Structure 1
Amino acid sequence: MNDKDVAQGSVASSQKPIRPDPAATAHTRHRYDLWASVYDWAEWPAEQLLFRKWREQLLAPVEGPEILELGVGTGKNVPYYPDDAQVTAIDLSPEMVARARRRTQQSPEKTITVREMDVQALDFAEGQFDEVVASMVFCSVPDPVLGLREAIRVTKPGGRLRLLEHMRATSPALGRLMDRLDAPVHWMGGMHIARQTVENVRRVGWEIEEETSLTHADIFRRIVARKPK
């Protein structure tokens, strides 16, 4: 699979790598290690205006009790989990993991374990979790289809996937612009801006129950899907 296919989250290829691409994974880890110290500061305006509300809406219906969060970042979702949930949160970046662990210490009433791990190669048993959550993560997973396959593997039959994601715009002109900018944005920041995440979720076998557009041209969307029983 070439870089353009990965950048746009292509759903056309039938040959996916069995294991993550080490070079692509290392690039993403390095970029987020670099971002970690300024990540919260850089996102502060968007967090206050939009993201905080969207996180709360994403996590309000979560029941668990066994919950897996993919790409915990600096731990911004921590305040929105129910107190009785058993949350395992992972991230590829050790610098992000360190910050997320510090944030969990501010919510001692919650049971949250933070581990360094790659979503493309989860070290969990099949069917271990009731629900899987991710917020703005599959824009940066090097192989998003592989990551979503791992997510469905570790989810119990009937369990849910809850995503808050940004992806390629449905507006043709804006979508083409995002395609052109995707490669340089990925090189600088580690994330892609032209992923087709809804199609990728369907491709690996999740049954989509809800798809909610949150902004113009569907760039930000909330997705709720279920693993078939």
Structure 2
Amino acid sequence: MDTKDKYDKVSKIYDKMEKMMFFNKHRKSLIAFTSGKVLELGVGTGANINYYSKEVSVTGIDFSPKMLAKAKEAIEKNHITNIKLEEMDIQHMSFEDNSFDCAVSTCVFCTVPAPVAGLKEVYRVLKPGGRVFFLEHMRSTNPVINIVLFMMSIMSKFFLGTSMIRKTQENIEKAGFKIVERRDLFFDVLRIIIAEKTI
């Protein structure tokens, strides 16, 4: 079963799983940075949709049709008119170059099968000077913490295709982005990273 199928399978209970996550309280502050034309990467069931200003225009993408169906229900329930959804793989986006002012990623690049390739696609579709606002968990610089993360990753990879030990900040830089801000929220496992397209 590939990652897409795994997320389709858990779509019915994903919102309940999300509510147990301690990082949810940081979503609102992250999305407050957005402006203009926004790309949300891995929109999932729509955990972020209520945090966007009505002044922005949001395109949310996800590779799981069943997760997107949940997000669509949430958009209709909340009468949101400035967010549209598209089924799309981050690694192969159909948008033209320089299409978006900024992008949002909340715990997405732990799951993208080829994360650097996906990040390069994000770089491509952003306008020069555009920023990506990341809330991501990743490998720690503390080897003791990494032992725990490695053990957790065995289960998360099996059930969701999610890695707990990705070097996500390094991957962001490999894709060409300049890190302009970093905040460690839980030791250095959970981080807010603001990255900019420099050219």
Report TM bin, short chain: over 0.9
**Under a length normalisation based on structure 1, what TM-score does the superposition of the two structures give?**
0.83
2:56 alignment partner in structure 1: 85
CA deviation string 1:52-95 (max 9, x = no partner): 320011011211x1110010010010011110211000001111
- Rounded to whole Å, the distance in 2 between the matches of 1:163 and 1:30 is 25
Residue 108 of structure 1, CA deviation: 2.5
- Rounded to whole Å, the distance in 1 between the matches of 2:25 and 2:151 is 30
Q: Please tell me the residue identity of whatever aligns with 2:125.
A: V
- Rounded to whole Å, the distance in 2 between the matches of 1:27 and 1:184 is 15
- Per mean C-alpha deviation after superposition, the further-off stretch among 181-190 and 28-37 is 181-190
Q: Secondary structure at the match of 2:13?
A: helix
- Aligned 1:127-206 pairs, distance under 5 A: 127-206=98-177
The answer to whether the aligner puts 1:123 opposite 2:100 as a matched pair is no
Q: Secondary structure at the match of 1:193?
A: coil
Q: Please tell me the residue identity of whatever aligns with 2:10.
A: W
1:12 alignment partner in structure 2: none
- Aligned 1:68-79 pairs, distance under 5 A: 68-79=39-50
2:65 alignment partner in structure 1: 94
The answer to whether the aligner puts 1:36 opposite 2:11 as a matched pair is yes
Residue 106 of structure 1, CA deviation: 2.8
Q: 1:215 aligns with which of 169, 183, 186?
A: 186
- Gaps spanning 5+ residues in structure 2: where? none
Q: Is the 8 A contact 1:135 1:165 kept in 2?
A: yes
Q: How many residues align?
A: 199
Q: Please tell me the residue identity of whatever aligns with 1:194.
A: I
Q: Is the 8 A contact 1:167 1:196 kept in 2?
A: yes
Residue 45 of structure 1, CA deviation: 2.8
1:5 alignment partner in structure 2: none
Q: Secondary structure at the match of 2:11?
A: helix
- Rounded to whole Å, the distance in 1 between the matches of 2:24 and 2:69 is 21
- Rounded to whole Å, the distance in 2 between the matches of 1:209 and 1:110 is 32
CA deviation string 1:90-148 (max 9, x = no partner): 00111101001111113324411111110000010000000011100000000100110
Q: 1:54 aligns with which of 22, 26, 32?
A: 26
Q: Please tell me the residue identity of whatever aligns with 1:135.
A: T
Q: Secondary structure at the match of 1:210?
A: strand
- Per mean C-alpha deviation after superposition, the further-off stretch among 200-209 and 50-59 is 50-59
Query: What RMSD in Å do the two structures reach over aligned CA positions?
Result: 1.4
- Rounded to whole Å, the distance in 2 between the matches of 1:180 and 1:75 is 29
Give the % identical residues. Answer: 39
Q: Is the 8 A contact 1:85 1:110 kept in 2?
A: no
Q: 1:105 aligns with which of 67, 76, 88?
A: 76
Residue 41 of structure 1, CA deviation: 1.0
- Rounded to whole Å, the distance in 1 between the matches of 2:42 and 2:157 is 17
